[in-house]
Amino acid sequence: MTEVAAVRYPAPTVIRTADVLAKGMLVLLLLMVVIDPDGSNLRNKAAEARAIGYPLLSFTIPMIWLLAWKERFSFPWLPDLMITVTCFTDILGNRMDLYDSISWFDDLMHYVNTGLIAGAVILLTLHHSASRIRVVERALAVGATAAISWEILEYVAFIHGHAERQFAYVDTLSDLGLGVLGSVTVALVIHALWQRGQLRETAPQLEGALLR
């Protein structure tokens, strides 16, 4: 395999700023969760698991970039923002009690956040020349895996043995369906933007770079 020359794409300031702010607010909200789970509406909702898991997830791309990509690619600000938003909106939604006060908010989060995760992986691993079918395949693989993993963690963390377990099965089916649908939606949007010549400078795009 030939060595890949460094690929540098400066991200728009608004993307970089949004990513930094989202990470900062996420850390602040998680500190509030640890201090006061009741005030964050996360009592008996795996507050500790979120406080540990969300920082790990939201800082995964920066750590991988520092360890393996820094010399070859510019920092992937947009995919990193997409991952961070999934963690931030969940904590913020609980903090504002949106999950309990708005009946469809949970459905929206499954649709949007699973789609964002799939979209981030697409931007990180596929070249903009990838076919629509390939992009959708990648979205289905990532989105379905993410949706199933979340439902398993959710069941283990705060549904098993909880009063909500009698409704969990129906809710799980709809959540899985919405997650997959969100992933496909984002895949089609990304591919359409690529076809229009947009959203192409979101390095690293590993597969495309390694194939050159």
- Break the chain into its structural domains and give their ranges: 13-211
In this structure, are residues 54 and 26 in contact, taking their beta carbons and an 8 Å threshold? yes
In this structure, are residues 10 and 74 in contact, taking their beta carbons and an 8 Å threshold? yes
Instruction: Give the tens place of pLDDT for each residue, 118-144.
Output: 999 999 999 888 999 999 999 999 999
C-alpha distance across the termini of the chain, in Å: 10
pLDDT confidence of residue 19: 96
Hunting for tokens 């609980």 — which residue is that? 94
pLDDT confidence of residue 118: 97
pLDDT confidence of residue 111: 97
Q: How far is CA 26 from the centre of its chain?
A: 13
How confident is the prediction along the chain (212 residues), in pLDDT tens digits per residue?
A: 444 455 556 678 899 999 999 999 999 999 998 888 888 887 777 778 888 899 999 999 999 999 988 888 889 999 999 999 999 999 999 999 998 899 999 999 999 999 999 999 999 999 888 999 999 999 999 999 999 998 888 777 665 555 455 555 557 888 999 999 999 999 999 999 999 988 877 655 555 443 33
17 vs 62: CA distance, rounded Å:
15
Instruction: Give the tens place of pLDDT for each residue, 200-212.
Output: 776 555 554 433 3
Considering only CA atoms, which of 172, 31, 154, 19 is closest in space to residue 86?
Answer: 19
SS3 (DSSP) at 73: strand
Share of the chain above pLDDT 70, in %: 83
34 vs 143: CA distance, rounded Å:
29
99 vs 54: CA distance, rounded Å:
18
